[in-house]
Structure 1
Amino acid sequence: MLESASKTFFHLLAQSAVLKKLASRYGMRKPTSFARRFIAGETVAEAIEAARMLEARGLLHSLDHLGESVGNLSEADAATRDYLAIVNAIVDAGVGRNLSLKLTQLGLDVDKASAIDNLRKILDRAEPAGFFVRIDMENSPYADVTLEIFETLWQQGYRQTGVVLQSALYRSEADLERMIALGARVRLVKGAYQEPKTVAYQRKEDVDAAYARMLKRLLTGSSYPAIATHDPAMIDLARTWAASHGIGSDRFEFQMLYGIRRDLQSRLVGDGYRVRVYVPFGREWFPYFMRRLGERPANIAFVVRGILGESG
C-alpha cells in the first residue's frame, strides 16, 4: 500500500511544471548536483564517459537518451536524428554498443506508421554496426502496440532487438509465453508506473511473486534473458535457479540502474556474472528521475540535501 501511494504521489509531482523548473535549475548544473546520482548527464559525451567508467569496473551498459511522448512529427524526427547521432558517437568512442529507447519518443502518440519508420531508421543504422536495441515498455496502454510493433519488425528480420515486460501487469505472464515462442530477448522488470487495479497487482508481494514466476520461466525457456532488479531476494533466486538447472552465467545477465546499488553491481561481477547498467542521459530527465524517487522514497532526503546545498 505504501509503495503504491508513493508511486502515485511522485507520478503527480512529475507533472508539475514548477517542480520541473526548480529541479532543472539545480539538478545537473554541477558534477556533484543531486540528479547526477541517477542521470549520467545531459549530453551524449557525458553518457559515453559514464559508459567508459562502467566498463573499467567490468560492467556492461545500455545508453538511453531520455525523452517520452512527443507532440508532433517534427519532434519525433528530431528524436530519431538524435538517436542516429548517438549511434555514430558510440561507434566513434569505441564503447559497448547497446541502446534503449521508447516508442512514444519516436512519435507513437502522433502517428503509429511514422514511429515504426523512425524505429526502422535507427535499427538500419544500429544493427549493421553491431548494436543491440531494447524497446522499453511504457505504461499499460502501450503494451499491445509496443509488442505488435516489435513482432512486426522481428518478422521483417530485425533480430538484434528486444522488449521489456513488467511483472506488475496481469497480462505479462501470457506476453512472456508469446515472446518465448518468438525467440525474443526479454528484459524483466517489476514496473515503475502507477497502474490501476484493473490491469496490475497493487500489493508488493503479488508483484514479487509474479516476478519470481517469470524469472524462472525466462531462465529455463528464453533466449539470453535480462533479469533487471536490485532486489537481493530476486537476485539470489536467479542465481540459485540457474545453478540448479545447469544454466551458466553466460546465458543471462543482471541489469541495474545507474547510480543504484553500485556495491551489488560490483559484487555480482566479482562472482562471475554479467551485469549491465542502464545509463539514462539527456535534458528530459525529470520524469525518469521522479519515477526513481517513487520506487525508493528514501532517496528524497538525498535530493533535499542536494537542493539545499546548491541553493545555499
Structure 2
Amino acid sequence: MITRNFFLFLARNDFVKNRASKWGPKLGAKSVIAGETIEEAMETARQLNEKGLSATVDHLGEFVYNKAEALEATHYCVRTLTAMEASGVDCNLSLKLTQLGLDIDKELCLSNMRTILDTAKKYNNFVRIDMEDYSHLDPTLEVLQELRKDYDNVGTAIQGYLFRAEQDVDKLKGTNIRLIKGAYNEPPEVAYQDAKEVYNNYLNIIKRHMLNGSYAAVATHDHNIIAEVKAFAEKHGIAKDQFEFQMLYGFRSELQEEIAKEGYKMRVYIPFGEDWYGYFMRRLAERPQNITFAVRGLLSK
C-alpha cells in the first residue's frame, strides 16, 4: 500500500510533473503512450487492428479551468472522431468530463458532450465517459443520465473497489459499462482497502451486469478474472458479442492477442497526448507488475 500511495502522490505532484518529460521515456512511458498526436494514435490503432484487436483512444488531460480550454478539448475530441472515420480504424473514443468543463459548469459540460456525441453518432461510433475520483462520481452519472435520454452511443465506467459499485451497476442496466477495479486512492469510508475484497466485489459487478443483459467491457489484466468471466459466460449462455475484454496499450500484449484469437472482442485502451504523467503514475500505482514493467524499461535504456 505504501508503494501504491507513493505513486498516487507523484501523480498529483506538480514539481515532479514539470520535470517528468526528461525521464518519463526512460521509465517506460513511451512504451505505454501512443505518441502525442491524433495521427500517432490512429497509426497505433491501425497496427492493433491488423492483429485482430479493437481500440479506444483517450487524449490525456484532466481538470480544465476555463470555458476556452473546455471548448478546445471538445474540438479535439471531434477531430479525433473525424480522424477515426477517415482512417477506417476499428476504434472508439474515451474521455473525461473534467476535460469538458464539468468542474466549471455542468451545462457547459453537457453541451460539449452533445457536440461530441452528435459527431460520433454521425460516424456510427461510441463514446466512453471515463470515471474519475469519487468526488466526480455523482456528477458524472448525472451527466450520463441526462445524455442517455437522447443518445444510445454513450457509456461510462464503474469502479469495483467502491462500496456502491453494485448499486450503480444495477441502476445502469442497459448501459454499456466498462468495469474496472479502480485506480484512485479513495478512503475506507467509500472503498474497500483489502485486495481480496476488491477482487470479489469486482467479479460480483461483472457478473451482475452480464446477467442483466447489458453490454459489459471487462477491463483487467488479471488472467484469473479473465478465465472466470469466460467460464461464467459459457455457463450462463452469454454470447461473446455481449461483452468484451479491455486492456491497456503496452501491457500483456501477447495475452491480448490470445484472447482475440479465441473469438472474444479484445479492445486496447490507447492513451496519447502530452499530458501523460498522471496517467502513467496511476498505472504504476495499480499493480506491482506495472512497477516491475517500468523498472525494466529504465534498466534497458
**TM-score category, normalised to shorter length:** over 0.9
Amino acid at match of 1:160: N
Counterpart check, 1:242 vs 2:233: yes
Query: How far does residue 304 in structure 1 lie from its aligned partner after superposition?
Result: 4.7
Q: Is the 8 A contact 2:285 2:291 kept in 1?
A: no
Pick from 126, 133, 139 the counterpart of residue 127 of structure 2: 133
Superposed CA deviations along residues 149-207 of structure 1, whole A, max 9, x for unmatched, are 1011111x210111100010111100111001xx2111100001110000000001011
1:306 is displaced (CA, Å) by 4.6
Whether 1:13 and 2:13 are equivalent positions in the alignment is no
Question: Could you say what secondary structure the match of 1:238 adopts?
Answer: helix
The alpha-carbon deviation at position 42 of structure 1 amounts to 0.8
Contiguous gaps of at least 5 residues in structure 1: none
Q: Which residue does 2:196 correspond to in 1? A: 205
Q: Which amino acid in the other structure matches residue 278 of structure 2?
A: P
CA RMSD of aligned residues (A): 1.7
Where does residue 117 of structure 1 map in the other structure? Answer: 111
| TM-score scaled by length of structure 1 | 0.92
- Measured at CA, do residues 71 and 308 of structure 1 come closer, stay the same or move farther in structure 2, by a change above 3 Å? farther
Identity of aligned residues (%): 47
Aligned residues: 301
In structure 1, the residue corresponding to 2:218 is in which secondary structure?
Answer: strand
Partner letter of residue 170 of structure 2? Answer: E
The residue number in structure 2 matching 1:90 is 84
Runs of 4+ in 1 over 3 A off after TM superposition: 297-310
- Of 60, 63, 66 in structure 1, the residue corresponding to residue 54 of structure 2 is 60
How far is the alpha carbon of 1:261 from its aligned partner?
Answer: 1.0
Q: Distance in 2 between matches of 1:250 and 1:88?
A: 26
What CA distance in whole angstroms lies between the structure 2 residues aligned with 1:212 and 1:205?
Answer: 11
In the other structure, the counterpart of 2:254 is: 263
Looking at structure 1, the residues matched to 290 and 161 of structure 2 have their Cα atoms a distance apart, in angstroms, of 22
Query: By how many angstroms is 1:77 displaced?
Result: 1.1
The answer as to whether partners of 1:6 and 1:295 remain within 8 angstroms in 2 is no
Distance between the aligned counterparts of 2:180 and 2:293, measured in 1? 25
Q: What amino acid maps onto 2:72 in structure 1? A: A
- Distance in structure 2 (CA, Å) of the matches to 1:285 and 1:49: 18
Instruction: Quote the Cα distance in structure 1 between the aligned partners of 2:3 and 2:121.
Output: 39
Larger mean Cα displacement after TM superposition, 213-222 or 100-109: 213-222
Q: Do the aligned residues in 2 keep the contact of 1:165 with 1:176 (CA within 8 Å)?
A: yes
Q: Deviations over 1:253-284 (max 9, x none)?
A: 11111111111111111211110011100111
CA contact (8 A) 1:62 1:98 kept: yes
Partner of 1:22: 19
Deviation at 1:41, TM superposition (A): 0.9
Q: Offset of 1:6 from its aligned partner?
A: 2.8
3-state SS of paired residue (1:193): coil
Instruction: Provide Cα deviations, 1:38-94, integer angstroms capped at 9, x if missing partner.
Output: 111111111111101110110011011111111111111111111111111111111
